[in-house]
């Protein structure tokens, strides 16, 4: 008859002891504590990469626009006027603006029909972390103000006034790798909450005139024209509000150190 007692080589089968459970919980908590910052960094980098991809895509479209319009940067506002209506015919919508330099904020609306299938809220117009995309509005990827006026306008000693408002051209760019084509100002608006905030200020993502895209801190940017677009009823910045928008020398100048 087989004995019901366990032999010397057999261990008792039972549940975990309280001590073992506590140790297990402590180990799991430790692993979570170690992994959470890492996961946060991975997520932040993924968001930054996605935003740069969107900027690069928009920059490529602006390059195509230049090919279609004799090398011009977007020039959809007649500088001789004081009021403009931007229409997206395919969507039956329009935007009225009364300041010339607002063109840098609504370029996406002006180009929507011809280059973005009429989508004024195309996902490429936004950083990936921006969930709200109501339209037909502008984009936080700003086309720098320097593209809307002659290079001489962006030096205080040669600025004369509104007669210098005009289209600018790709061939005028002297430092394409250091010239911002689109600037993501969302990080500057939310400050420390922006992904990748660094010691030199918020990381500012941008598309460059050479077709690349990357991020640099505020400190990595050169100071722009101190008075922004100047004192005018067509101005939206009366000083160098955001980096990358008002380079000294305009399209011929350099935004990055």
How far, CA to CA in Å, does 256 sit from each of 152, 196, 230, 242, 245? Answer: 19, 18, 22, 13, 11
Which ranges of the chain have pLDDT less than 50?
1-7, 9-10, 12-13, 191-198
How much is the pLDDT for 194? 45
How much is the pLDDT for 31? 66
If residue 37 lies in a helix (H) or strand (E), which one and from where to where? helix 18-68
How much is the pLDDT for 18? 77
How much is the pLDDT for 48? 85
Q: Is 117 left (phi over 0), alpha (psi -120 to 50) or beta?
A: left
How much is the pLDDT for 195? 45
pLDDT tens for 140-197 read 999 999 999 999 999 999 999 999 999 999 999 999 999 999 999 986 755 444 444 4
* Spatial distance between the Cα atoms of 152 and 236, rounded to a whole number of angstroms: 19
170-187 burial: b if 16+ Cβ within 10 Å, else e: beebebeebbbbbbbbbb
How much is the pLDDT for 38? 58
How much is the pLDDT for 36? 61
| Three-state SS at 94 | strand
Place of tokens 């430092």: 175
Residue 84, strand partner residues? 97
Place of tokens 């990827």: 141
Cβ-in-10-Å burial (0-12, 13-18, 19+) of 225 comes to: buried
* Spatial distance between the Cα atoms of 40 and 37, rounded to a whole number of angstroms: 5
């Amino acid at each position: 008859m087989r004995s019901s007692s366990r032999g010397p080589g057999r261990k008792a089968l039972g549940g975990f002891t309280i001590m073992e459970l506590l140790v297990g919980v402590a180990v799991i908590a430790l692993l979570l504590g170690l992994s959470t910052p890492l996961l946060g960094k991975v997520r932040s980098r993924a968001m930054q990469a996605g935003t740069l991809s969107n900027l690069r895509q928009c920059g490529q479209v602006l390059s195509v626009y230049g090919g279609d319009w004799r090398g011009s940067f977007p020039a959809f506002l007649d500088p001789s006027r004081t009021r403009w209506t931007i229409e997206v015919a395919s969507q039956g919508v329009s935007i009225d603006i009364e300041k010339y330099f607002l063109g840098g904020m609504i370029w996406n609306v002006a180009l929507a029909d011809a280059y973005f299938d009429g989508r004024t809220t195309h996902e490429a117009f936004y950083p990936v972390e921006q969930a709200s995309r109501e339209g037909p509005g502008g984009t936080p990827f700003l086309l720098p103000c320097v593209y809307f006026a002659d290079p001489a306008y962006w030096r205080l000693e040669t600025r004369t006034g509104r007669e210098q408002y005009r289209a600018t051209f790709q061939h005028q760019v002297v430092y394409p790798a250091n010239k911002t084509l689109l600037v993501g100002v969302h990080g500057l608006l939310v400050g420390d909450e922006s992904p990748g905030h660094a010691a030199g200020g918020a990381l500012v993502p941008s598309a460059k005139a050479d077709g690349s895209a990357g991020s640099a801190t505020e400190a990595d940017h050169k100071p722009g024209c101190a008075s922004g677009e100047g004192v005018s009823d067509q101005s939206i910045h009366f000083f160098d509000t955001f980096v990358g928008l008002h380079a000294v020398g305009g399209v011929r100048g350099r935004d990055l150190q």
